[in-house]
Amino acid sequence: MRRKGGNSREGNLTISVVVSAFNEEAHIARLLRSLKSQTRPPREIIVIDDGSRDRTGEIAEANGAAVVRMAHRGPARGRNVGAARATGDVLGFLDGDMACAPAFLERLVAPMDSPEVAGTFTRDIYIGNLENRWASAYAALRSLRDGRLLPSDFPDVWDNFRAVRRELFLAVGGYEDVGYGEDRTLAAKLGRLANVAPDAVCFHHNPSSLGEIFENGLWIGRGPQARALSHPWLQNSPFSAVYWGVRSAIQGETLLVIPARLAYHLGVIIGLIHTAIRPQHHWK
């Protein structure tokens, strides 16, 4: 049964934006302002304040979002809680450090006018803070080219949903709490992939300090993808970090890629250690 408030007509789908945010006081207002200027406004914006130790929740409330505060348990739990409270036909999942071009939601949902499309993603995600030297160094260490998170020739289908029909999401129980990479656990449960939404432009901010790069590595180290590497400890050792950092610098990247790699790989190593000690604790 469709929940009260939804709209079942294709072409007139309502959108609930869900943001699971942890310590995003520097970014959350920018995201919410960008959502207020959408050509296809969301039905609601739900911000899950995932145990933030800063003013994330307060700032989100001041910018008109419905805020749910919870103990810190990571984005999978936060998104699932937000989805359970949503009333729109479509769930749009955004991160607190993003911002959206005015037509983002309109273009993100447009392919879903076809009932055959379960959900969508965008390959038009640009780095929003390349002017920051550490954000630029992070882009170099992650081999992000042309200011994009995904290449322009990225495939037309993917297992990472940015928008999905709410009823399908709830029917399979939402995301699995696996830590980093939780946003790629939905496709297998649905048995379907996300379709690309052309020209759905948005921006994502890279880590902008050594500390944030370390925290990013820590988050990745706690996820299954790091453990799936053939030699995760060796591949993230200080020797490997220096080797790849120097190689990038020789190839013309900023010299800051060397300390950035050391911080990142140290974070991954500590994340691997944390997961070995506390295998059910995935969040930052």
Q: Across residues 1-24, what is the average pLDDT?
A: 74
CB 95 within 8 A of CB 30: no
Considering only CA atoms, which of 107, 108, 88, 101 is closest in space to residue 42? 88
Place of tokens 């890279």: 206
Q: What is the pLDDT of residues 38-68, one digit of tens each?
A: 999 999 999 999 999 999 999 999 999 999 9
How confident is the model at residue 210, as a pLDDT?
Answer: 97
Q: Across residues 132-144, what is the average pLDDT?
A: 96
Stated length of the chain: 284
Buried b (16+ CB within 10 A) or exposed e, 32-71: bebbeebebebbbbbbbbbbbeebbbebbeebebebbeee
Task: For residue 202, name the pLDDT band (cuts at 50, 70, 90).
Answer: very high
Percent of all residues in the chain with a pLDDT value above 90, rounded to a whole number: 87
Query: For residues 113 and 123, what is the distance between their CA atoms, to the nearest angstrom?
Result: 19
Considering only CA atoms, which of 141, 130, 97, 140 is closest in space to residue 266? 141
Q: Please provide the average confidence, as pLDDT, over all residues in the chain.
A: 93
Q: What is the pLDDT of residues 23-39, one digit of tens each?
A: 999 999 999 999 999 99
Mind giving me the DSSP string for 77-106?
Answer: HHHHHHHHH--SSEEEEEETTEEE-TTHHH
Instruction: Provide long-range contacts, Cβ within 8 A and 24+ apart, for 57-61.
Output: 59/25, 59/28, 59/29, 60/19, 60/21, 60/28, 60/32
CATH number of 15-204: 3.90.550.10
The structural domains of the chain, with segments of one domain joined by +, span 15-204, 210-277
Task: For residue 9, name the pLDDT band (cuts at 50, 70, 90).
Answer: low
Whole-structure pTM value: 0.92
Distance of CA 15 to the CA centre of its chain: 18
Q: What is the pLDDT of residues 73-131, one digit of tens each?
A: 999 999 999 999 999 999 999 999 999 999 999 999 999 999 999 999 999 999 999 99
Task: For residue 223, name the pLDDT band (cuts at 50, 70, 90).
Answer: confident
Query: For residues 24 and 284, what is the distance between their CA atoms, to the nearest angstrom?
Result: 13
Query: For residues 43 and 91, what is the distance between their CA atoms, to the nearest angstrom?
Result: 10
Q: What is the pLDDT of residues 252-269, one digit of tens each?
A: 999 999 999 999 999 999
Q: Is the pLDDT of residue 4 over 60?
A: no
Q: Is the pLDDT of residue 283 over 90?
A: no
Q: Is the pLDDT of residue 8 over 90?
A: no
Partners of residue 194 on adjacent β-strands: 158
Query: For residues 248 and 242, what is the distance between their CA atoms, to the nearest angstrom?
Result: 10
